[in-house]
Structure 1
Amino acid sequence: MFSPRSFLVAAAAVIGLTAPLLAPAPAAAQTKLKMVLNWKYQGPQGWFFLAEDRGYFKKAGIDIQMDQGNGSGAPIPLVANGTYDVGFGDINALIQFAATKPAEAPIAVYVMYNQPPFTVAVRADSPIKSPKDFEGKKLGGAAGDGALKLFPALCKIAKIDCTKIEVTNMQPNLREQMLMNKQVDGVFGYVNTIRFSAKLMGVADKDIRYINFGDYGMNLYSNAIIVSKKLVAEKPEVVKGLIAAINQGLQDALKDPDAAIAAVAKREPLIKPDVEKDRFMATLHDEMNAPEIAKIGLGNVDKERLKKSIDILVEANGLTRTPTVDEIFTDKFIPPVADLPKKLF
């Protein structure tokens, strides 16, 4: 005879037996990665934060910590010595590091800045018109600044005497202030970093001029995602997931720059969103928009061009060893060319 109570008891027993089978599997363990950026939290970091906020790192099994940096040259030794797993830094600093310490050197896996942003900024009323005019003057920059690290190469290529130039280190946040207060005659940096940091101080574009390294034969790549050899060897799937997440964050940022700036503001509420959006757009235009991306995609490199860059740095800096292209960059972790950005506007 059917009994509702006995049916419920039996059903409960069955559910109890099968519940473990029906419960969702625990989430896969997340790989913790520490990443150091090139600079302070600003508009051009928006794609990294958008990737985090939209869960792309988590989907790739990555729990990421992104810290502010102190110059594009600084991430290289920090990744090399294991302080960080990942860096967003200057590939030219990587080339110089790899020339002297090949066993320790990290490797670039996704190149974002494909046009040379390196500059010495001077006041508009300065008598400095070309690199030759640096002689007898005082220039300043942050110790980890990518342009400062490339200055010996510029000296050789532009045929100027570096020994006649006083170079002083300064805190990154004092750079534009020291320039405009005439404490130095010029400052090293990236054009758009200086330009918009000065703008935040109330300095108009017309009040600053730029002596750009690219105008003197230094057609170099710049900032890239750089990872440790240890991570590549031990967790290649994590590196591939990391790059896929960053690439998707960049794609999203290109479609919605305002969302990228909002992601930065979430971490640094004191930014001025309109200025940071302008900085974001200028970075796309001036530092990431090389014609080659229409064919090979943003993130990839023209290997012949990279080889020429390596040769320029080796010769200009008198390095005793020439790293190979494959020591500096690998394309094994980037998405297929069809999935890379090919047009930024």
Structure 2
Amino acid sequence: MKYVLSSLLATATLVFAAPSFAQSIPIKFTLDWAAQGPHSWFYLAEERGYFDEEGLDVTIDQGEGSAAAVSRVTTGAYDAGFGDINALIQAAATAPDDAPVMVYLIYNRAPFAIISKKDGPVQQLADLEGKIVASPAGSATFRLFPALAEANGFDSSTVETLNADQNLIEQLLVRGDAEAIAQFGATSYMNFMAMGEKPEEDYNWFFYSDNGVDLYSNGVIVSRALIEDHPEAVTGLVRAINRAVMDVVADPQAGIAVLTAIEPLTDSAIETQRLQYMIDNQLRTAETAKLGLGDLSMDRLAVSIDTVVKAYELTTKPDAAAIFDPSFLPPLEERQLP
């Protein structure tokens, strides 16, 4: 009996002393901005254990802009993030060995827009000549404005730029200090709502994507080191996020509930509207209906690269394959929006 008991104790000691070989792979993930409705799927993937099921230990940090997210992953400060593909093109042109790779596109349609009053002097894009356009300093929307002007046959050099803080842009248009603004569509839409304006009734919306500058926007980017060292982790990360996106699209309130738990000061009504706006305008497109969310057209991406290279006067043009890698995507049937 002593022998049996000793054997059991020895076995138990070995079991508890044995090292764990199934350790999770840590991934530092950066958002593009403060946590908002369209970020809820990342937190939902964490809350529902989707990352855990893929053997990933994901830490989500808030960001300071879509371009900053690309910079964070480029420098190695983060392993992955939610960044803008146009900023990624710039990074790949200047630092091809360090630039991240996009592996899952979420915003199939870029949110860049020119917005004017319905009763104002700008009723078509050509009316912008000689007018004042307000935009945040360094705005990607306004940086690509010359491409919009070229595509629509007006002279961008005649347009006067009025730079202001991000949260003041819509006020400049409402007060008449500017005849139009260059902003992210969702940002202005929500700001107008908060001001008591009627964005769809009172304003003209000229989206770049509808006016000859058909660009992609944000998606999941990963470092080249993560791809090389842990390709299975990239596959798992994409699969987990895709599951969560599909869950939130099917039930937006589930995403808002998780977001509110993470950020108790969240205005759930505003963030619900912001989330639904992005789903309807940036996720649901004719292309995602065909290719599924996450994928893109390499031909369309090649045209986008040409546009960005010209707009930012880049000396090197990266290849589309260096910008986007579809090999980590789940099957099409799992990426069809509900």
Fold similarity call, TM over 0.5: yes
Residue 15 (str. 1) matches residue 38 (str. 2):
no
The two structures, once aligned, show a CA RMSD in angstroms of 2.6
Q: Are the aligned partners of 1:71 and 1:146 in contact in 2 as well (CA < 8 Å)?
A: no
CA distance in 1 between partners of 2:13 and 2:334 (Å): 40
Residue 82 (str. 1) matches residue 76 (str. 2):
yes
Find 1:66's aligned residue among 50, 57, 60: 60
Residue 336 (str. 1) matches residue 336 (str. 2):
no
Deviations 1:116-162 (A, max 9, x none): 32102233433122333333333333446442332232233234333
Counterpart of 2:279 in structure 1 is 284
Q: Are the aligned partners of 1:138 and 1:168 in contact in 2 as well (CA < 8 Å)?
A: yes
Deviations 1:173-216 (A, max 9, x none): 33334443445443332212320232123222233332221232
User: Which is greater in Rg?
Assistant: 1
Deviations 1:60-109 (A, max 9, x none): 23332323334333322232222332221221222233234323322111
For 1:203-242, what aligned pairs fall within 5 Å after superposition? 203-205=197-199, 206-242=201-237
Q: Percent same amino acid at aligned positions?
A: 38
The Cα shift of 1:316 comes to: 4.9
Counterpart of 2:174 in structure 1 is 180
Q: Which runs of 5+ in 2 are unaligned?
A: none
Q: Secondary structure at the match of 1:332?
A: helix
Deviations 1:5-28 (A, max 9, x none): xx5x55543331221455596474
Query: TM-score of the superposition, structure 1-length normalised?
Result: 0.86
CA distance in 1 between partners of 2:20 and 2:138 (Å): 43
Query: TM-score of the superposition, structure 2-length normalised?
Result: 0.87
Deviations 1:209-253 (A, max 9, x none): 322212321122211111222222222222222111111111221
Q: Are the aligned partners of 2:144 and 2:311 in contact in 1 as well (CA < 8 Å)?
A: no
Question: Size of the alignment, in residue pairs?
Answer: 336
CA distance in 2 between partners of 1:176 and 1:222 (Å): 22
Q: Are the aligned partners of 2:249 and 2:337 in contact in 1 as well (CA < 8 Å)?
A: no
CA distance in 2 between partners of 1:144 and 1:58 (Å): 38
Deviations 1:248-294 (A, max 9, x none): 11122123211111111122223332332222222112111122323
CA distance in 2 between partners of 1:303 and 1:110 (Å): 13
Change (3 A) 1:237 1:172: farther
The Cα shift of 1:315 comes to: 4.4
Counterpart of 2:261 in structure 1 is 266
For 1:245-260, what aligned pairs fall within 5 Å after superposition? 245-260=240-255
Counterpart of 2:147 in structure 1 is 153
CA distance in 2 between partners of 1:242 and 1:128 (Å): 45
Counterpart of 2:318 in structure 1 is 323
